[in-house]
C-alpha cells in the first residue's frame, strides 16, 4: 500500500501544481473556472496502479480533486486510505508545501491560495463499493 500512497502523493502534487498555476495567469474566478473546465475535458487521466484522476472543481473556495480507485486491482484500498487518513493528510501537506516553496512561481501560488482562502479537498472513490476517503486541507496548512 505504501507504493500506492507514494504514487498518489506524486500525482496529487502534480495535479495541484497544474491547477494552481492556472490561477496565476487568470484574471479572476471566472477565468480560473474556465481553465478548470478545459482541464476536465482531458480527464479522466490514468495515474497508474488502478487509480485515475477523474475531475477537479472549484466551488465556494474549495478546490476538489477527485480520484477513482479500481477496487478490482486494489481491493481494500479505500479502507486502507481511511485508516491512514491522518498520515496521508500530513504527507500531502508536507509534499505540497515543499513543491509550492521550491520556485518563485510556486511561492506566488502558495501566497495566492492563502490570500483567497482556497481549501483543498481530495476525494478517493472506489469503483466497486462507492466508498470514499475524503481528505480536507485548509488553506492555512499550506
Domain segments of the chain: what residues?
A: 2-141
Please tell me which residue, 94 or 55, carries the higher pLDDT value.
55
How far apart are alpha carbons 81 and 103 in whole angstroms? 30
Percent of the chain past pLDDT 70, that is, above it, reads 75
Model confidence at 23, in pLDDT bands (50, 70, 90)? low
CB neighbours (10 Å) of residue 124?
22
User: Quick one: 88 exposed, middle or buried, by C-beta within 10 A (0-12, 13-18, 19+)?
Assistant: buried
The whole-model pTM stands at 0.81
pLDDT single digits (tens) 84-108: 899 888 888 887 788 777 777 667 7
What are the grid coordinates assigned to 15, written together? 495535479
**pLDDT above 60: residue 9:** yes
What are the grid coordinates assigned to 17, written together? 501544481
**pLDDT above 90: residue 127:** yes
pLDDT for position 139: 81
**pLDDT above 70: residue 75:** yes
Torsion of CA 80, 15, 66, 69, to 10 degrees: -40
pLDDT single digits (tens) 31-54: 667 777 888 898 998 887 788 989
User: For the domain bounded by 2-141, which CATH number is listed?
Assistant: 3.30.300.250
pLDDT for position 27: 47
Residue 128 contacts residue 72 (beta carbons within 8 Å): yes
Q: Report the chain's mean pLDDT, rounded to a whole number.
A: 80
pLDDT for position 45: 87
How far apart are alpha carbons 48 and 8 in whole angstroms? 9
Q: Output phi, psi for 66, to 5 deg.
A: -110, 130
Helix (H) or strand (E) holding 29: helix 29-41
**pLDDT above 70: residue 4:** no
CA nearest neighbour of 130 among 63, 79, 86, 64: 79
The residue-averaged pLDDT of 107-134 equals: 86
Amino acid at each position: 500500500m505504501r507504493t500506492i500512497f507514494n504514487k498518489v502523493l506524486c500525482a496529487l502534487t502534480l495535479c495541484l501544481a497544474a491547477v494552481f498555476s492556472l490561477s496565476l495567469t487568470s484574471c479572476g474566478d471566472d477565468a480560473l473556472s474556465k481553465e478548470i473546465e478545459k482541464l476536465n475535458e482531458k480527464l479522466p487521466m490514468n495515474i497508474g496502479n488502478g487509480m485515475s484522476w477523474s475531475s477537479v472543481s472549484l466551488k465556494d473556495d474549495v478546490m476538489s480533486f477527485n480520484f477513482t480507485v479500481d477496487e478490482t486491482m486494489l481491493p481494500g484500498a479505500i479502507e486502507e486510505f481511511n485508516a491512514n487518513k491522518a498520515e496521508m493528510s500530513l504527507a500531502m501537506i508536507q509534499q505540497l508545501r515543499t513543491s509550492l516553496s521550491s520556485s518563485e512561481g510556486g511561492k506566488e501560488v502558495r501566497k495566492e491560495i492563502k490570500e483567497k482562502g482556497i481549501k483543498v479537498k481530495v476525494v478517493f472513490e472506489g469503483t466497486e463499493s462507492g466508498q470514499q476517503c475524503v481528505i480536507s486541507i485548509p488553506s492555512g496548512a499550506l
